[in-house]
């Protein structure tokens, strides 16, 4: 019997994919010497560092916005609760796409781009209206289309407020999301998780992915 098989069920519950990855890397002794919660925390830390680090390097080399604030919570979802529906490739990619479209639409319709971002003209009503319109439209579209991905709410504000608002940059944002999803697919699959290729499995229950 392998040492890791002697772990109490209570300790192995919720960390099976990490246990599987540890066995493949022949470092399953970590799960015997350290609390499962600590091992899971390190797992999320390493994955988040590697994935965002690679995108930051790509952003530096290409001089394109491959790293932006809402990518952080998306990375957290993809590695902390990868089997949850909001973490599926479908919801992640389409959620951010909805946020980008609604954000840019609000940015253009309200005239929020009349004043460059960073300039403080006092209360600039077009920008306030753009923020409110973009967020409400993003939420409504996600509900209507049954595409839940909370970080998309931050993406739409980034665009509607004019922080990143040029069409070419919006394409780069969606490409960055795609690259993050691709990394999550590879890493989670290597960890032994049945991370979906597109949509989360029907009937997935909270906690089934070990996030509790």
Residue 137 resides in a domain:
yes
Read off the pLDDT of residues 140-151 as tens digits, 9 standing for 90 and up.
Answer: 999 999 999 999
Q: What is the pLDDT of residue 20?
A: 63
- By residue range, what is the domain housing residue 105? 68-190
The one-character DSSP state at 200 is: P
CA end-to-end distance (rounded Å), the chain: 28
41-76 pLDDT tens trace: 887 888 889 889 999 999 899 888 888 999 999 999
Q: What are phi and psi of 166, to 5 degrees?
A: -80, 135
**What separation in angstroms does the CA of 92 have from each of 3, 20, 64, 72, 129?**
37, 25, 20, 12, 26
Looking at residue 41, what DSSP letter applies? H
Per the structure, how many domains does the chain have?
Answer: 1
Alpha carbon distance 185, 191 (integer Å): 10
Structure tokens at 133: 């319109």
Residue 116 lies in a domain: yes
Domain assignment present for residue 126? The answer is yes
What is the average per-residue pLDDT within 76-96?
Answer: 94
- Please state the rounded mean pLDDT for residues 104-132: 87
In angstroms, the CA 80 to CA 43 distance is 9
Is residue 205 domain-resident?
no
């Amino acid at each position: 019997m392998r040492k890791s098989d002697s772990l109490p069920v209570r300790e192995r519950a919720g960390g099976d994919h990490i246990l599987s990855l540890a066995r493949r890397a022949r470092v399953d002794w970590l799960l015997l010497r350290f609390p499962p919660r600590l091992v899971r925390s390190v797992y999320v830390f390493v994955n988040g560092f590697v994935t965002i680090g690679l995108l930051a390097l790509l952003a530096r080399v290409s001089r394109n916005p491959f790293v932006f604030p809402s990518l952080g919570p998306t990375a957290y979802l993809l590695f902390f609760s990868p089997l949850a529906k909001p973490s599926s490739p479908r919801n992640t990619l389409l959620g951010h796409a909805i946020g980008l479209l609604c954000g840019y639409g609000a940015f253009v319709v309200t005239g929020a781009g009349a004043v460059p971002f960073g300039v403080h003209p006092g209360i600039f009503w077009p920008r306030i209206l753009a923020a409110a319109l973009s967020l409400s439209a993003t939420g409504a579209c996600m509900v209507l289309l049954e595409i839940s991905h909370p970080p998309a709410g931050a993406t739409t504000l980034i665009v509607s407020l004019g922080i990143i608002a040029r069409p070419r940059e919006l394409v780069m944002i969606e490409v960055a999301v795609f690259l993050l999803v691709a990394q999550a697919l590879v890493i989670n699959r290597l960890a032994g998780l049945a991370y979906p290729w597109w949509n989360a499995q029907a009937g997935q229950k909270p906690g089934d992915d070990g996030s509790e």
